[in-house]
Structure 1
Amino acid sequence: MSKQPGRRQFLQLAAVGGLVYASGLPGWQAMAATTRTAGAKPDDFYFVQLSDTHWGFKGAPNPDSQGTLPKAIAAVNALSPAPDFVIFTGDLSHISDDPAERRKRLAEFRDIAAKIKVPVVHYMPGEHDASLDNGEAYIELFGRTHYSFDHKGVHFIAIDNVSDPSARVGEAQLAWLAADVRSVPEHTPIVVFTHRPLFDLYPQWDWATRDGQQVIDLLMPHPNVTVFYGHIHQEHHHMTGHIAHHSARSLMFPLPAPPAPGSQAKRNPIPWDAAAPYRGLGWRSIAEHGKQDTATWALAEQPIQANSEANATTKTPETT
């Protein structure tokens, strides 16, 4: 059985409000996102991205603030086959000026996330977790804020663009990144995880990384790079040259798309709609298809639903 969700599974996701989005990289054919062939490579795989859980948030934008994360975890645990790994791309907790409260929220999040049945779970901080203490509390509870790892022919890099309150990656981490990407063969697919966008999406709202262009410049020599990030609490798809950038929805509250400059001063959350209580919230599964410079990614956006089991996808049919 393939670990990449099949055509029927993606269509079922679309029927309940999901969206399949194919990364705009070389070698992609439209049907590759939703179907498999008998000759599929056995090392194809998928993983799950969750972002912006903001544990500790309380307010009108989400009256179910303590329920959405457990609902998402229940849905992930029901996936069959299970993803190879899960990654949380930042803002695990909601910001607090009180160091004790910050640690309490991060510890509560850690204990809830421990209920994920997938053996491998990766974490990275958001500015709510790390910007007030340069990541000190986060490091105590979760370890490194930036790192890399390899999985089934893909090189993954988690970049910290939040621990510095000025929204910079910083010279030391840039030097580490330069050394890391130099060690990766040119045609090995690279996936980058960040919290903030690396490009200037909307700097007025802190939707940018001040030295993000330096990160992009280091990645540009590699022909197959895809970036997954959070922070903006909505889907957004963007290209910088051949590098695709995909933002994830939040598990706490959605934010509006960037307005025309000066037309809206604040990034206020979209109001809770009792008729569609989880509209704009969700998580995604990401399936790898192909290898080398033709590797592409199929994104399945999966909404939060009132019934946590309703969000679970059905078993992937075996390919024939």
Structure 2
Amino acid sequence: MSSIDRRQFMALAGLGGAVLVSGCATGRPDQADFYFVQLSDTHWGFEGAPNPDAKGTLHKAVAAVNALPQAPDFVVFTGDLTHITDDPAERRRRLAQFKEIVSALKVKTVRFMPGEHDASLDRGEAYSAFFGPTHYSFDHRGVHFIVLDNVSDPAGAIGAEQLAWLDQDLATQAKDARIVVFTHRPLFDLYPAWDWATRDGASALERLMPFANVTVFYGHIHQEHHHMTGHIAHHSAKSLIFALPAPGSQPKRAPLAWDPAQPYRGLGWREVEGGARSAAWEIEEHTVVKA
């Protein structure tokens, strides 16, 4: 069976925009190419400047994913599902509303992880009641996925217990295994003064470094950013609520102003294409509303 990549499909079908279609060159379902969608930092419950459409962008993103010509294998939300509140009842109400909204996704598998807005004030208790464990792993088409929780600890650490779990999880993997890590905060010190780091992230990276094919996808910084730690690639995702400035580009970490002429500039979600036969991932960014 010959393969056809995304761009070839678009040319044959005469389609415009971003479409991701994968083919299986090996004929083995467990070795087939696939793609997933990453959304991050929806901050459901946020209101006011700089996003006058705060109650609309999540719905628009769900509609955009549902409109894809081919459904992704899964969707993953990389944290800050809801906006922070110190009212436990309100926190649960927002989590329930978020869960109801994203239940409209026409995808069989949707995976979640918390951000500090969801979990730091109660160590993930409410989040876990709605979405289950805050860290876990799973396998999909020859790729091992690891979800790390670096937000439930108010100090912004992964913690010794979870690092021990990571050791056990990685012990089952070959050194050339395809490994993808999902986390909310960056595992490297991007800009600690703005809380853009993980206190013991270096310990997690030290454990991952012996593996040849590791990629990290994260959120938290509300913008696209790419970084290498040795051979480990880190890719951050845009937010669906407001954009933030480049690391250290201004004195304070403050949301970028809403531009009525380009209302969804800096907001978006992404598709990621890969498979068991290649160590590379192809990333495609989308705006909330197609221009």
Fold match by TM threshold 0.5: yes
User: Partner residue of 2:263?
Assistant: 277
Question: Residues 38 and 92 of structure 1: is their aligned pair in 2 closer, same or farther, counting only changes over 3 Å?
Answer: closer
Distance 1:75 1:35 in 2: 16
Question: Residues 177 and 75 of structure 1: is their aligned pair in 2 closer, same or farther, counting only changes over 3 Å?
Answer: same
User: Partner residue of 2:287?
Assistant: 303
The answer to whether residue 147 in structure 2 is matched with residue 146 in structure 1 is no
Distance 1:247 1:227 in 2: 8
The answer to whether residue 209 in structure 2 is matched with residue 220 in structure 1 is yes
Shift of 1:184: 1.0
Q: Is the deviation greater in 36-45 or in 49-58?
A: 36-45
Percentage of pairs with the same residue: 62
Shift of 1:37: 8.4
Shift of 1:5: 3.2
The answer to whether residue 72 in structure 2 is matched with residue 86 in structure 1 is no
The answer to whether residue 100 in structure 2 is matched with residue 111 in structure 1 is yes
Question: Residues 4 and 74 of structure 1: is their aligned pair in 2 closer, same or farther, counting only changes over 3 Å?
Answer: farther
Using structure 2 for the length normalisation, give the TM-score.
Answer: 0.92
User: Partner residue of 1:286?
Assistant: 272
Deviations 1:14-55 (A, max 9, x none): x86x7x9xxxxxxxxxxxxx9988947661000000000000
Using structure 1 for the length normalisation, give the TM-score.
Answer: 0.84
- Contact 2:5 2:21 (C-alpha < 8 Å) held by counterparts: no
Question: Residues 290 and 151 of structure 1: is their aligned pair in 2 closer, same or farther, counting only changes over 3 Å?
Answer: closer
Deviations 1:80-99 (A, max 9, x none): 21100000000000000101
The answer to whether residue 176 in structure 2 is matched with residue 175 in structure 1 is no
- Long gaps (5+) in structure 1: 21-33, 312-320
Distance 1:187 1:172 in 2: 26
- Contact 1:4 1:44 (C-alpha < 8 Å) held by counterparts: no
The Cα RMSD (Å) is 2.4
Shift of 1:162: 0.1
- Contact 2:191 2:248 (C-alpha < 8 Å) held by counterparts: no
Higher relative contact order (CA 8 A, sep 6+): 1
Which structure 2 residues correspond to residues 1-320 of structure 1 after superposition, within 5 A? Answer: 5-7=6-8, 9=10, 39=25, 43-259=32-248, 264=251, 266-289=252-275, 291=277, 294-305=278-289, 310=290
Question: Residues 6 and 221 of structure 1: is their aligned pair in 2 closer, same or farther, counting only changes over 3 Å?
Answer: same
